[in-house]
Amino acid sequence: MILALTRRIFAGIVTLLLVYTATFVMVVSIPGNPFQSGDRNMPREAQQALRARYHMDNNWTFYAEYLTGAIHLDFGPAFTYSDWTCNQIIASSLPVSMLLGLLAILIALLVGLPLGVLGAVHRDNPIDFLGLFIVILGISIPTFVTGTAALTLFCVYLKWFPVGGWGTLRHLPLPALTLSLPFIAYIARLTRGSMIDTLHSDFIRTARAKGLAERTVIWKHALRVAFLPVLSYLGPATAQAMTGSFVVEKVFGVPGLGQHFVNAALNRDAGLILATVLVFSAVLIALNLLVDLLYSVIDPRIRGAL
């Protein structure tokens, strides 16, 4: 178990190095630099001096120095924002994105699991058709459409929530619910399909033959096994919710890390791009490892194959 965990951690470090290298190659291949964009458009001599100061005139030197700084968790200055370092931006915005993403996943679990279970238990009934309809809507409608509609209805017309911003509990529900809709759909679909297969298993027939209540059979025995595919999906889904919510952040004015990544890409801010990509990748790898550990706890048969 410990040896397998060590291998996974080592593989995660190698993956981060490969992600950093690939991102670096793409960043330096794009024309332009952060000193050419917007109000930072300055004379060529000044640009060359600044590029030399931050070792951006030599790709290999910049690659090595930035990698050394990243190993020591020092991502350097952020050229997109004056007087801010990448560390300060990450420290202020990552908790916002993580809170929003975790809340969205929690909502998705609380809604998607019962929806999938009810669809499997009442297969081909109106309840199942309603669940499938919700799944189709959640998958097919983009979050910027649902977010804009929710913002217009609940903030502009009904005035139940503030229009954008961050800092109070009233700012949380709408962006979290909007972000959770696609995850609700996928979790409900996975749960329904897995529950249908599980309900036809031998151990379920045995549990019913013992006289256990149907509610106990479904929610205690069947769901425990049917939850395994959902658990596998939760790793990348949670990472995606926490790091890929820039559309929702933009619609609702949430100061998360996704917005900073988009701004960095538009302004060719190589340092901030690399910092956000490394943070996103580290979160994804860590969550996948956590899911594998939880998977081995729920299903001891795979504990040795971690």
pLDDT digits (tens, 9 = 90+) for 217-257: 888 778 888 888 888 788 778 877 876 677 888 888 888 88
Q: What are the DSSP calls for 97-109, one per residue?
A: HHHHHHHHHHHHH
pLDDT of residue 288 exceeding 70: yes
Domains of the chain: 86-305 (1.10.3720.10)
Q: What is the DSSP letter of 85?
A: B
CA dist., res. 245 & res. 178, Å (int): 10
**What average pLDDT score do residues 51-61 get?**
73
Query: Is the CB of residue 179 less than 8 Å from the CB of residue 238?
Result: no
Model pTM score: 0.78
pLDDT digits (tens, 9 = 90+) for 92-132: 888 888 888 899 999 999 998 998 888 888 887 887 788 78
Label residues 139-159 b or e (16+ Cβ within 10 Å = b).
eeeebeebbeebbeebbeeee
Q: Provide CB contacts within 8 A for 303, sequence distance 6+.
A: 1, 296
**Residue in 90, 191, 82, 79 with CA at minimum distance from that of residue 132:** 191
CA distance 305 to 71: 30
